[in-house]
Amino acid sequence: MKRLTFSEISNYSRLRGDRIIDRTRANQVRDILSYVKTSGDAALTELSLKFDGVDFSEVTVPSELSFDDFALLKALKVASDNINAFHKPQLRSDYKIELGRGLFLQRLIRPISRVGFYIPGGSAPLISTLMMLVIPAKLAGCKDFVLCTPPSAQGIDPSLLLAARYFGIDKIYALGGAQAIGAMAYGTETIPKVDKIFGPGNFFVNEAKRQVSTDPNGAAIDLPAGPSEIMVVAEAGANARFIASDLLSQAEHDAEAQIIFVSLDLDLTEKVLNEIQSLVGTLSRQTTAMAALEKAIFVDVRAKNEALEITNAFAPEHLILHVNDSEAWLPEIENAGSIFCGPYSPEVAGDFASGTNHVLPTDGAARAYSGLGVESFQKTISVQTLSKEAFLDLAPTLLTFAAKEGLDAHALAVKVRLQEAGEINNENN
């Protein structure tokens, strides 16, 4: 851990650290994607055996499941009701306006035709992430879903499989890593090509998403991704044990997780450090958590304005406010993926079941990107219809812009219509 004062972090890059592009691994991803693109299922079988020790062609997904995990079913119901309630107001409608004499403009909302979900498996199958993807997708009107998740030797995690069936997903594939992203982006004999890919992953998954998103033959992606991150801002009197547990909840995610604590009270900082030392040893993923904590940064500030400056500069994925009047802070927070207000609003609530979406911008992207929502699964189409009268009214403006930008054919497209309307003759052309 590193402890700094406000004056020591005038260069805010010190909080996030340098991002070094791993060209070797990026090239490995490029090779994997190329192989999948050219060889399809044969590549998937070879790569799955190589990286996961599982033969992709032999892993079957049961067509019928016994829905007997009642605790999970109850949790899915509670969480999905909240997620649905939060996301439903995000729905947008088509609209149409008229300007002038017969100039009609419309915007149409359409769902993305086919979307792909990548759900990490392994030791921590992210059932909650599946909810965060499929619920807004269904609200958006999407109907065709492809789900890839890395298998273990026993196949797909049964809880994740149950959740997928619960939400009506039937295209489920036991496939992970960059090869899964390639399969969804380009399509194979077995896996359909999708239009947009959603979901978190490790370096190889995120790099594969980045690469296919820049390939005209690939697929769009949800958000630029980096390590998970949390920033906690706290004042004197905050519960140190609560804060320590919040910081650890992100540290156990990933050894590369970004852990930042901004404190307005020196004594509180000491208490939080002591609580972390006390609690970290109780975690089943303590090795991962301790690796993340080695890079954690604790910042002592003197006033609210310093805390806000750090917050807006860092643009955290998750921001927890352990302060007396968190609502009073909100108008001054410009950059954050999701904010958790007060001592009983832990980040874990947003991770699982409060209702907000936990797929959020990381690595400072919250300065320009929003978390996942219904609109992420939709696209808009603009429509314009001009009557003859509307065209004649607009023609002088069109010709002015065409002349200023030196676009003769643009001007021609206007003039031939003016000629047809009898507004100019060929000699004026």
d(CA 322, CA 116): 37
Three-state SS at 272: helix
Q: What is the DSSP string of 73-123?
A: HHHHHHHHHHHHHHHGGG----EEEEETTTEEEEEEEEE-SEEEEE---TT
Cα–Cα distances in Å, from 192 out to 111, 185, 189?
18, 9, 8
Q: Beta strand pairing status for 172-174 and 196-198?
A: unpaired
Instruction: Check if 410 is active-site.
Output: no
Residues 36, 218 contacting (CB under 8 angstroms) = no
**E strand residue ranges, 296-399:** 297-300, 318-322, 338-341, 378-386
Task: For residue 67, count CB atoms less than 10 angstroms from its CB and return exposed for 0-12, middle for 13-18, buried for 19 or more.
Answer: exposed
Two tokens at 265?
A: 């009270």
From the list 87, 253, 318, 358, the catalytic residue is 318
Residues 164, 63 contacting (CB under 8 angstroms) = no
Number of Cβ atoms within 10 Å of the Cβ of 421:
13
Two tokens at 183?
A: 């399969």
* Tokens 């599946």, located at residue: 130
**E strand residue ranges, 160-277:** 172-174, 196-198, 220-221, 229-234, 258-263
Instruction: Check if 318 is active-site.
Output: yes
Residues 396, 408 contacting (CB under 8 angstroms) = no
**Contacting residues for 242 by C-beta, under 8 A, at least 6 apart:** 322, 343, 346
d(CA 175, CA 199): 14
- Residue 339 dihedral angles phi and psi, to the nearest 5°: -115, 140
Two tokens at 427?
A: 């000699």
From the list 207, 229, 252, 317, the catalytic residue is 317
Which residue numbers are catalytic? 317-318
